[in-house]
Amino acid sequence: MHFVDQIAESNPKNYQVWHHKRWLAEKIGPDAANSEHDFTRKILAMDAKNYHAWSHRQWVLQALGGWESELQYCNQLLEEDVFNNSAWNQRYLVVTRSPILGGLAAMRDSEVDYTVEAIMVNPQNESPWRYLRGLYKDDNNLLVADNRISDACLKVLNKDWTCVFALSFLLDLLRMGLQPSDELKGTIEAMENSDPETGHADIAVAVCSILQKCDPLRINYWSWYQTTLSS
């Protein structure tokens, strides 16, 4: 293993080396967990997006263990770079699969608070928006019922009406059945800056109209989406 580590450190994107490391780790067993985690930390410190290192680390966690400090490791990586999508992905793995954290249902509340805080600091960072959606996987009713989510969208849009991630998330919430507050309605109406001839009574249609203005690369998609709302 020491020999292979030297090769892997010099050739961190050689998949054959990583496959051989996995084979060796299987032979050694749980005693290899700590050293393998230390090694992937070293590789990820050089390249935070090394797919092979992340894949190996996830395999080690699930096959050999070492979950105890993994959430803290994710915290560290996100403190260093909140735009590290790989760290967000790893965090989701830990929250949903760690045998010591109790699963997504047990972690959801604190994770929503953590994620909303990250969003408020960097609203244009797509990763926490996607992570937030994943925290409510297969439970749209719970997502819609959690006022923290719509409140986060509202706070972001009050500061930056062009935030596509907040607008598209809000649109999904409305499509799922969110009943918008008067404050939210007022904010969208002000953002649309509509007159009696061009304004939209339906708030979801209004959000689509705004998205067509601030997300021109996908204007055709938002135009089509708007037709699905009025059909």
Across the chain, how many H-helices and E-strands are there? 14, 0
Under DSSP, is residue 82 helix (H, G, I), strand (E, B) or coil? coil
| Tokens 């961190």 belong to residue | 12
pLDDT at residue number 196: 47
Alpha-carbon dihedral sign for residues 84, 85, 86, 88: positive
Angle (CA) 18-24-26 rounded to 5° is 105
122/210 Cα distance (integer angstroms) = 21
Instruction: Give me the average pLDDT of each 10-residue run along the chain (231 residues).
Output: 96 96 97 97 96 98 97 97 97 97 96 98 97 93 96 95 96 94 91 60 91 94 90 56
Torsion angle of the four alpha carbons 112, 115, 117, 123, in this order, in degrees rounded to the nearest 10: -130
- Specify whether the CB–CB gap between 152 and 121 falls below 8 A: no
Half-sphere exposure of 124 (CA within 13 A, CB side): 7
pLDDT at residue number 3: 96
| Tokens 């249609």 belong to residue | 205
DSSP codes of every residue in 166-177? HHHHHHHHHHHT
pLDDT at residue number 191: 86
pLDDT at residue number 200: 65
Q: 181 phi and psi, to 5 degrees?
A: -75, 165
pLDDT at residue number 197: 47
* Per-residue DSSP letter, 201: S
Whether 13 is catalytic is yes
Give the pair of three-digit tokens for residue 120: 């408020």
| Tokens 């800056």 belong to residue | 193
Half-sphere exposure of 88 (CA within 13 A, CB side): 21
Residue tagged active-site, from 13, 49, 159, 185: 13
pLDDT at residue number 195: 46
- Other Cβ atoms less than 10 A from the Cβ of 142: the count is 13
Under DSSP, is residue 196 helix (H, G, I), strand (E, B) or coil? coil
